Structure 1
Amino acid sequence: MGVVAAVWRYPVKSMAGERLSEVTLGERGLDGDRLYAVHDADGKFGSGKNSRRFRRMPGLHAFAARYDGDVPVLTFPDGRVIRGDAAEIHAEIAAELGFPGVELAREAEIPHHDEAPVHLVTTSSLAWLAERAPGVALDERRFRANLLLDTGPAPELTEEAWVGERIRIGEVELEVLRKAVRCVMVGLPGDGLPAAPGLLKTISDTNGVTFGVQTRVVRGGTLRVGDGVHEVGCSAAHSL
């Protein structure tokens, strides 16, 4: 069914992340993924959209984060690098975003993930979208996918056919839950990608605002770039 072409982890929700050659997955998803978020004074998480849990914070997408051990290290839009355990981190983030009182916080009772622990896209779906969005720089970073699966260059929405199925990747087994709903983040510049202001509308017009799929971890383990992807079969819920 394909192989793992890239693995991405996002230490801080809505910031650019780090590319890995291997990672451990558990019930929560990739080890350390979205484990931190910028919280406002009401406890909402900084995001690209407003909802019951999230508050839109323009500018978050221009930050990047990586781990030094278990500490997130943030690169600010102007190139400054500040560790997440530095005394000044909260004030510096607040000043950069223009949101007084925000703090960088570790996940507690309420999860930081939008819909599911692991998000993936395929090379086939990127090729499909490229045909409908000519001139747009497209890769998995624009969709903040954890996994890019190389399913070949044929333009088709390959992963959508896996909804309700289980797939095995190396030691890991995932259940594909649903198609991923997109938001304004897909068109924002950042992480070396230019702005694509019409991309969300293109996705909306051609695929009902969805692209890629959301999954949960059925069996954890280590996942590596180059691991093969194999179909396991229908999930229990899907077979009912």
Structure 2
Amino acid sequence: MGTVAALYRYPVKSMLGEAVIAVTVTENGLSGDRIYAVLDETGAVGSAKHPRKWGALLRCRSRFDDSGMVRVVLPDGTALPVEDPDLDVELSKLLGRQVSISAVVPEHSRLERAVPEYEGGVPETVRESAVVDSTGASITSGGVAPGTFFDFGQVHLVTTASLARMRTVYPAGDFDARRFRPNLVVDTDSGTGFPEDAWLGSRLRVGEALFRVVVPTPRCVIPTLGHDELPPDPGIMRAVAREHRIPVFDLGRLSCLGVYLDVLEAGTVRVGDVITLQEAA
């Protein structure tokens, strides 16, 4: 049904990450993925889902060096290991307030999300509870997945077919997979559409690893932001909202692209691995 076209991991949440050729998948997701986050003194976990407060994190890149240490490359090109106290100083300057980088998930962590204007960006019940914060943005707050810095699923997958479909809907947009911050990009060989919609509840054998497809991925504002050389484009998510709003749990019809996966069996996944779909038991 397809092959692995690309693999990505993001050692520090909401920073640019790194493409890899092969990666170990553990019971907690891709090894090295979202193992650090930037925290502020209010207990908020740094997420570009609130661009006015945390968007500058997307100007930084996190990656593993040859020794296996995570380094952060700052906008000016300076690279510092995560253990270097100077990194906290530089990130605080970048964000304009005191922050620190941590591998420890706070017990009462908080994740803030900007509420988009278009329908389908958040559940309507959530939109009704939004508040305007000190940045002037309308936001909602929630938690991260217990014990992790993930928003929800352990692994995020997008297909080349879905990206191709969106290019036909919004030809002016650059639907580079990196905008959607996937772990796995799956080349579905041919055709356009949203094939992953039909995979919900099924199992995917990818290389040595086995995954269960859990839920469509509701999209936030992040794909509209600038990523590396990709410019900002607010039309990206408006196009997704027009074309692909589908039911997510009991939250209503949300703008989705991609799916979240849980890990059933650990193992190594490589670019080029064949993907096999197994129907739900």
Give the TM-score normalised by structure 1: 0.91
User: More deviation in 23-32 or 200-209?
Assistant: 200-209
The answer for the alignment partner of 2:248 in structure 1 is: none
The answer for the alignment partner of 2:25 in structure 1 is: 25
TM-superposed CA distance for 1:61, in Å, is: 1.2
| Cα contact 2:175–2:236 (8 A) shared by 1 | no
Task: State how far apart, in whole Å, the 2-side matches of 1:154 and 1:107 are.
Answer: 43
Give the TM-score normalised by structure 2: 0.78
Task: State how far apart, in whole Å, the 1-side matches of 2:208 and 2:39 are.
Answer: 34
The answer for the alignment partner of 2:59 in structure 1 is: 62
2:168 pairs with 1:122:
no
Identity of aligned residues (%): 39
| Cα deviation code 1:47-83 (max 9, x no counterpart) | 1235xxxx95121111111012442211112222222
| Cα contact 1:169–1:227 (8 A) shared by 2 | yes
| Cα deviation code 1:151-205 (max 9, x no counterpart) | 0241110111111111101110000000001111101112221111111111112
The answer for the alignment partner of 1:230 in structure 2 is: 276
**1:70-219 equivalent positions in 2, closer than 5 A:** 70-98=68-96, 100-108=97-105, 110-208=147-245, 209-219=255-265
Q: Residues 169 and 84 of structure 1: is their aligned pair in 2 closer, same or farther, counting only changes over 3 Å?
A: same
The answer for the alignment partner of 1:8 in structure 2 is: 8
Task: State how far apart, in whole Å, the 1-side matches of 2:99 and 2:280 are.
Answer: 43
Task: State how far apart, in whole Å, the 1-side matches of 2:49 and 2:173 are.
Answer: 22
| Cα contact 2:212–2:261 (8 A) shared by 1 | yes
Task: State how far apart, in whole Å, the 2-side matches of 1:18 and 1:107 are.
Answer: 22
Task: State how far apart, in whole Å, the 2-side matches of 1:29 and 1:56 are.
Answer: 27
Q: List runs of 5+ in structure 1 lacking aligned partners.
A: 236-240
TM-superposed CA distance for 1:133, in Å, is: 1.6
- CA-atom RMSD in angstroms: 1.7
**Runs of 4+ off more than 4 Å:** none
| Cα contact 1:179–1:214 (8 A) shared by 2 | yes
The answer for the alignment partner of 2:124 in structure 1 is: none
What count of residue pairs does the alignment treat as equivalent? 231
The answer for the alignment partner of 2:133 in structure 1 is: none
Q: Secondary structure at the match of 2:238?
A: helix
